[in-house]
Structure 1
Amino acid sequence: MSSTGRAAEVRLSIPADSAYIAVPRSVVGNLAARNDFTLDAIDDLRIAVDEACALLLPEAADGVLECVFEVDPPQLTVHASAVVPGGWMPDTDSFGWTVLTALVESAAAETVDGRLTITVTATATASETL
């Protein structure tokens, strides 16, 4: 939540290179810490965002990974997206997807106009029981 008491949104654009994955992981950790997530929940959310980004990296056709962080306490939603080759979707039976879905309240993948977005959502109170 912003200092004005309203929901907040943070946008981030990074090169689709594994060297930059620490940036969205750091941002989500900071936002979760500011919004009363437990230490375990913060770690879970960091790993989930890392996995979402890692799934997109090799497929990012334009070399750019976009992340949008929506903070609406107690909920934190992250949309990681990239332009991907036509028809590509993450393998929901893969280890990465299994890890991703185990760590957050919800996870989904959706393609719109060639851009695949992986959305993960966690709630401060719900994440304590995950």
Structure 2
Amino acid sequence: MTQALPEPDVDDEDLVVLTVPADGAYLSVLRTATAGLAARLHFTLDEIEDLRIAVDEACAMLLATAPADAELTCRFEVAEQTLTVAVSVPSNGQRLPGTETFAWMVLAALAGSVRSDVSGGRATIWLTMKRDGSR
């Protein structure tokens, strides 16, 4: 059973939700969606690539904790100058990597604002990037 992610904080944004099997073979779908939505906001090519890599890294972190046969949900909140990506999998009680790890530092350098939470039976990582390099 898939649980819904929390509703976005901002009312005037577009919302795109993709759910794929929690398997690395499907990450290309999420990278492509990330690039398309970031391009829609007129992100630079470098910003688009950074965000694609960050989404891929966040997914890899979560896939390592996901139970077998789980689904990975990726929620894209598209605002006027900001793209927020929430990647989520069912939690089997494992903790996500800490903010002091190399993987977390890569996420923060690529996406700017990064946070995580394990609650309600789901592990979620949020990435937020603002257009024009203002992360």
Structure 1: runs of 5 or more not aligned: 1-5
Could you tell me how far apart the structure 1 residues matched to 2:65 and 2:35 are? 25
**1:8: which partner in 2?**
14
Helix, strand or coil at the partner of 1:93:
coil
Quote the Cα distance in structure 2 between the aligned partners of 1:42 and 1:80. Answer: 17
Q: CA deviation at 1:88?
A: 1.7
Deviates more, 1:79-88 or 1:67-76: 79-88
Structure 2-normalised TM-score? 0.84
Q: Which has the higher helix share?
A: 1
Tell me the number of residue pairs that the alignment of Structure 1 and Structure 2 aligns. 123
Q: Partners of 2:93 and 2:23 in 1: how far apart?
A: 21
Instruction: Provide the residue aligned with 2:65 in structure 1.
Output: 59
Q: Aligned residues: percent identity? A: 47
Larger deviation, residues 44-53 vs 108-117: 108-117
Q: Which residue among 116, 124, 133 is the counterpart of 1:109?
A: 116
Structure 1 residues 121 and 17, CA, compared in 2 at 3 Å: closer, same or farther? same
Q: Kindly state the Cα deviation for residue 84 of structure 1 after the two structures are TM-superposed.
A: 1.5
| Gapped regions of structure 2 (runs ≥ 5) | 1-11
CA RMSD of superposed structures (Å): 1.5
Q: Do residues 48 (structure 1) and 26 (structure 2) align?
A: no
**Counterpart AA for 1:58:** A
Q: Is residue 78 of structure 2 the alignment partner of residue 74 of structure 1?
A: no
User: Which residue identity is paired with 2:93?
Assistant: G
Aligned to 2:6: none
Runs of 4 or more above 3 Å deviation: none
**Are the equivalent residues in 1 in contact too, given 2:47–2:133 (CA < 8 A)?**
no
Q: What's the CA shift string for 1:22-64, capped at 9, x where partnerless?
A: 1111101000001110000000000000000010012112521
Question: How much does 1:94 deviate?
Answer: 2.7
Residues 45-98 of structure 1, C-alpha deviation per residue, up to 9 Å, x if partnerless? Answer: 000000000100121125211000000020000000011222522233332212
Aligned partner of 2:39 in structure 1 is 33
